[in-house]
Structure 1
């Protein structure tokens, strides 16, 4: 079987290659032809997801993309010819989208949140990440799966899962499971987090802080914050983006840890800081300088949303519901516990260090 073939296991699940590497008899034109069907499907899926937000005001194109991909994956067979391009899209397009995500982050805006709010952000990420690893170990869940769930639930959802995939040396089904869990519990948090804030008598800005500190996906934060008020939304997005900043050091830390844990030939070791993470940090620093024109920032945000939506459609094609259920109740329990941990820490932190009015 050639490297770019697609195999079918006894459960009927399609196993696609991680990447398409041209051999001596495969030129760039032939490689592009192999990628084209799946790449085109993801681009169309991303565009359809963005168009879907006009039919569903307030819905996230990223969530629509994941759900559309998962719906296709579970209702109809995915043609074998699509898999090389889908694999390419779910990695390359996502990494480019993460680089552009850095242009949304201004360090001066993040620092303006104040030391109390920043402390809450660090505690939400750190305690959730650590608790997920420990509790997952008690549940007997493999380390790569625990790391993916910890990253997704503490930092920024599916984008964090995909960003840490190589560093954790995770299998594709583990990535799909983590993304499926992020979609499930993050969606449940959209109405839950504002309701919890109201239960504790928080004002709109405090509820926004709670939303940004606890909900998994940036898109889910936007949906929840927008449902409360414009002031809640502004605080929620800023606090959430402060959590996104932690993606770079956590990916670097995971890479260092896994390099030490696994005695792998030097040539096969992934870089400590992947190139796309370097790009993410460079984009963030560029935005901080304040020299990027507003129209360019708006265009970059649109491009970032489209690229992430196309990548999420590709990732959704890997979400197999029966496979997710077969992954066992342990991953489901761990995801629920991780969600509860970050919600409790965020509530306590918001009550102790409410945002300045």
Structure 2
């Protein structure tokens, strides 16, 4: 009837239709990011030491610079770079069994804390001396000190970082972490350290979990198992680091979209909750393998989406300073790791 008022049911129907349209608008970009993640996983099968996260972000950069990213793809790519990324970080928690961390002993856990704290603090100071922006230095320092690209992704979810800074941090993590696969076993072998100690140093100094696995395999003996356990203890440091970042941002009065930044982002609580579930529930190994694969897909899809926001014309200003920070950060983390392990072993 003309002029009749709109009923509540009409309002609800309009809202539902809008939500369905919004979800449908996400599909093209999310599907593209998912396809890129599958390609990145395929590349890892061919080259096991290559991080699928790096492959995905390179694919995104190449895709965005070979042709313009069409408007229908943008909502889904934004969704992948934020929401899907945070889902991946939550799923990362299922790799952590807290009782394995406790088994390392209090002294070794203190070494892990020292490596992360000194690595991040030193990275920020060196970044300032090199004239880098604080956020860029923070991304690189956290990636090198905690768990590589996943740490960069987690920190990006807690601060307002440019896509170019994220891409450069991930690239540097993979570059220097890959170099350390060969360098760390060579250096530790020259020191004639026992395999157990070599495994501890590799796990507490090398950036990515996959890179730690590769280095532990090169060292041999019982080094691989202990290297992975101590590496996962570093991964657990994501939570207190993100909490500290939230505290600093609040005290500085920083605001995002008119709101106070969260003290602890929801995805970090999910990350901790997943670690607790893994510890108390004794999940089936096949289920854990499936969760790990899904986590890698989510993070790879997010990295592709982030890469799509990077333009070569905007990367020209990056220059050599982040590369220098990467070299200094790797050396610092390795030095603190070696000294700490030799002190407590």
Query: SS of the counterpart of 2:30?
Result: helix
Tell me which residue corresponds to 2:87: 96
Q: What TM-score, normalized to structure 2?
A: 0.87
Q: Is the alpha carbon distance of 1:33 and 1:186 closer, same or farther for their aligned partners in structure 2, counting shifts above 3 Å?
A: same
Matches within 5 A, 1:172-251: 172-229=163-220, 231-251=222-242
> Which one of 274, 278, 282 corresponds to residue 287 of structure 1?
278
Question: Is 105-114 or 261-270 further displaced after alignment?
Answer: 261-270
**Per-residue CA shift, 1:283-337, capped at 9, x if unaligned?**
1111111443333223222222222222233234345556444223222222221
Does the Cα contact within 8 Å between 2:44 and 2:51 map onto a contact in 1? yes
Does the Cα contact within 8 Å between 1:151 and 1:160 map onto a contact in 2? yes
Question: Does 1:343 find its partner at 2:314?
Answer: no
CA distance in 2, matches of 1:289, 1:340: 37
Question: Does 1:331 find its partner at 2:313?
Answer: no
CA distance in 2, matches of 1:270, 1:182: 27
Matches within 5 A, 1:1-357: 27-75=18-66, 77-229=68-220, 231-264=222-255, 268-320=259-311, 323-354=314-345
Q: How far did 1:166 drift?
A: 4.3
Query: SS of the counterpart of 2:189?
Result: helix
CA distance in 1, matches of 2:206, 2:31: 31
CA distance in 2, matches of 1:176, 1:203: 37
Q: How far did 1:25 drift?
A: 12
Where do 5+ consecutive residues of structure 2 fail to align?
1-14
Tell me which residue corresponds to 2:4: none
Q: Is the alpha carbon distance of 1:323 and 1:126 closer, same or farther for their aligned partners in structure 2, counting shifts above 3 Å?
A: same
Does the Cα contact within 8 Å between 1:153 and 1:216 map onto a contact in 2? yes
CA distance in 2, matches of 1:100, 1:235: 22
Q: Over aligned residues, Cα RMSD in angstroms?
A: 2.6
Where do 5+ consecutive residues of structure 1 fail to align?
1-23
CA distance in 1, matches of 2:92, 2:177: 20
Does the Cα contact within 8 Å between 1:148 and 1:168 map onto a contact in 2? no
Q: Is the alpha carbon distance of 1:74 and 1:348 closer, same or farther for their aligned partners in structure 2, counting shifts above 3 Å?
A: farther
Larger radius of gyration, structure 1 or 2?
2
How many residues end up aligned between the 2 structures?
332
**Per-residue CA shift, 1:106-144, capped at 9, x if unaligned?**
111001011232122111101111111112222222222
